[in-house]
Amino acid sequence: MRIIIANWKMNLLSKDIDGFCAACVAEYKAKPGVEAGIAPPSIYLKDVKTKLGNCGVKVFAQNAYFEAKGAFTGEIAMAQLKDIGCDGVLLGHSERRHIFGETNAALVKKVKAAREHDLLPVLCIGETLAERDGGKMFEVLREQLAVLKETGPGALVVAYEPVWAIGTGRVATVEQVREVHAFVAEELKRLLGEAGAEVPIQYGGSVTPDNFSELIQVPHVSGGLVGGAALDPAKFLKLVQQAQ
């Protein structure tokens, strides 16, 4: 399966969302084997879900908490995401790891909680430039993927997003993507056995329609997690077409 997800991060307002969803409803044509999704700020999840109707574009949260319910001010439970019709949840995005201190230990619990509520977890991994330059890239990625040793197999997408390529306009080269995606595919098999071979591995980091047609051809690249370019519905829909 291939999957393209628009990560809006903390961008857009109601007026922008109307037009974005209307473009999806008018132009999105589902094709077998390729999923498309939007991850809006949580305050707009229900609105986006309603406006997309049954056009086939899925809705993802950008984060959620692992506890079932209770005194966790400011957090959202997986059950609440499911309750409003959410399809999945991004977990461990580099901005959550680096700005908000998300840990692998919390991610183990979040992946399990997402699965318990039938939400597709998208586990984001990626090295910083200092880690890559310091020869620590594979070690860091292995450690981030070790979350899956504790969760075991189940519904999953992995998004490889080199931190230095996110929002910088500096996309990884085809060779860099080839090398890391082959490594991630091997690790997934080592950790999850045959089930690991079925896990889609998205690339993320300054993806645009100009660079994506080449990246999507790279072995073990099965989609994209897209920030900046996916704030524009025409570009998002173009990326989906490229994956199809």
Q: Which residues bind ligand PEP (CB under 6 A)?
A: 7, 9, 161, 166-167, 204-207, 225-229
DSSP type of residue 65:
B
Minimum CB distance to ligand PEP, residue 37 (Å) = 13
Burial of 54 (0-12, 13-18, 19+ CB in 10 A): exposed
| Alpha-carbon distances, residue 235 vs 6, 139, 209 (angstroms) | 10, 34, 6
What is the Cα–Cα distance from 200 to 216, expressed in whole angstroms?
12
Complex with ligand PEP: residue 40 or 205, whichever CB lies closer: 205
Catalytic residue selected from 95, 102, 161, 187: 161
Q: Which of 239, 206, 199 is nearest to 38 (CA)?
A: 239
CB–CB of 179/186 below 8 Å?
no
Complex with ligand PEP: residue 192 or 235, whichever CB lies closer: 235
Catalytic residue selected from 35, 93, 95, 127: 93
**3-state class of 104 per DSSP?**
helix
Minimum CB distance to ligand PEP, residue 204 (Å) = 4
Complex with ligand PEP: residue 110 or 192, whichever CB lies closer: 110
Closest-approach residue to ligand PEP (CB): 227
Beta-bridge partner residues of 223: 3
Minimum CB distance to ligand PEP, residue 194 (Å) = 29
What is the Cα–Cα distance from 190 to 196, expressed in whole angstroms?
8
Complex with ligand PEP: residue 77 or 220, whichever CB lies closer: 220
Minimum CB distance to ligand PEP, residue 73 (Å) = 26
Minimum CB distance to ligand PEP, residue 83 (Å) = 25
Complex with ligand PEP: residue 10 or 13, whichever CB lies closer: 10
Active site residue 93: yes
Q: How many CA atoms lie within 13 A of 76 on its CB side?
A: 18
Active site residue 194: no
What is the Cα–Cα distance from 225 to 17, expressed in whole angstroms?
19
> Known catalytic residues?
93, 161
